[in-house]
A and B are shown apart, each in its own frame.
Chain A
């Protein structure tokens, strides 16, 4: 749970940083998108150690494995918690748990759905809402990004989804480090929670920045 979670947070940070290429213009962004997939003349990442276009599949395999292991661990914990709860309290009051901590499980289910839609939209191009990748967007990831996020409701939807991601990361980041044994003093707890807040806020602002820029016409 902790290791796969941290790996996925690492990926999100990288993905967020990559999205900033949108501000450098169409050529830069499309070159970056092509380079990730090994479609550029230099053969992309790890070429010639790996054949051109092979790295992206290694990368995708690791990510899919991380997601599946993360889900498997979560379901195991969920199952154990259910088995340990014979009946619920008539009156229940919580003292310290945060909203993020309480919603990790159902939030995770929502995130799984969001992830599937996100991949269908921007990776497989089967769920594009404002055009088609081949025709309207002329095979340009940049044009696709702009076209999709020129719709205000799509930006609103992603703003909500990113809040779900940020909340999941807020508890998940702290919890991962606690599970890995980093929380051994009250001070460590404060520091880890502060880092978790920082990671969550950074991811939220970082990811919503480019879509908002598209919506307001700063990127077109």
Chain B
């Protein structure tokens, strides 16, 4: 396959970025999207040009490091038949001779570091505000000591699959980080260990989310549509329900 790429090039956070067109020859349809970018970078290195900077780590869809907007959708979800991360998107999802736009996540809270790499530490600060359980968990408890219903366990596990890639923020017309915050809220709210800090956690995490400059949620649903882990929109409903309930608790007042 031969591909025409239009890639966002930006030297650093302060400089002005622009789309630059590159031709990538001899792309195998079995390559992942990132391997195709590797191919481009090898070519650029040989030519003595600056390679395209992009984030990546595990390349098996579980770490949350990679993530670019491909043809207008986060992780190229619009080109993929299934929910995917950028590293698990394969070139067979594109046709020979395709022109592909590659851009970084665009959100005020995710400033561009270089080219396609953005700073997502705002997510870390939301987690630091309350996305944890501060009890001594010790050794694994006896399994029957603390019963968790199947429904709640499933919901907690589904929400806990969030890898914090930031696709939700990139896709949201408001650039809200609600799906990310809500995934952690729901994960801990469904489990007995999360209960003591539940009202305090929601207040702190929502406050941290707003302080980071993320937009407000207007229930549009683009976030859930691009999420590689298929975190459902209803976790945001859980967040809203917990937030309302927490207003009647003294914690955090």
Residues of A within 8 A of B (CB): 76-77, 80-81, 83-97, 101-102, 104, 171, 174-175, 178-186, 188-189
Contacts and interface: CB of A to CB of B under 8 A. Distances in A.
A84 B244 contact: no
B164 to A, nearest CB: 18
B106 A87 contact: yes
Given A183-B237, A188-B237, A189-B234, A94 B222 contact: yes
A81 B175 contact: yes
B72 A93 contact: yes
Interface stretch (B87-95, B123-131, B225-233): B225-233
Given A90-B19, A95-B226, A96-B224, A181 B107 contact: no
A189 B233 CA distance: 9
Contacts of A84: 107-109, 174-176, 213-215
B73 interface: yes
A184 B222 contact: no
A183 B238 CA distance: 7
B16 to A, nearest CB: 10
A183 B106 CA distance: 28
Contacts of B214: 84
Given A91-B103, A92-B72, A85 B108 contact: yes
B222 A97 contact: yes
A104 B173 CA distance: 12
A181 B202 CA distance: 13
A182 B238 CA distance: 8
Given A85-B175, A95-B225, 10 more contacts: A85-B106, A86-B106, A87-B106, A89-B106, A90-B103, A95-B73, A101-B219, A179-B219, A181-B240, A184-B238
Interface in B63-121: 69, 71-73, 77-78, 101, 103, 106-109, 111
Contacts of B103: 89-91
A80 B174 contact: yes
Interface residues of B, number: 46
Nearest to A97: B220
A178 B216 CA distance: 13
Contacts of B109: 84
Contact of A81 (B71, B101, B111, B215): B215
Given A96-B221, A178-B240, A188 B215 contact: no
Contacts of A83: 108, 213, 215
A178 B236 contact: yes
A119 B227 CA distance: 45
Given A80-B216, A94-B222, A95-B77, A183 B236 contact: yes
B6 interface: yes
Nearest to B186: A184
Contacts of A181: 237-238, 240-245
Given A85-B106, A90-B19, A80 B237 contact: no
B218 A101 contact: yes
Nearest first, the 3 closest Cβ-Cβ pairs linking A and B are A181-B241, A183-B237, A93-B72
A94 B78 CA distance: 8
B33 interface: no
B244 to A, nearest CB: 5
B72 A91 contact: yes
**Centre residue among A86, A104, A171, A180 by max chain B CB count within 10 A:** A86
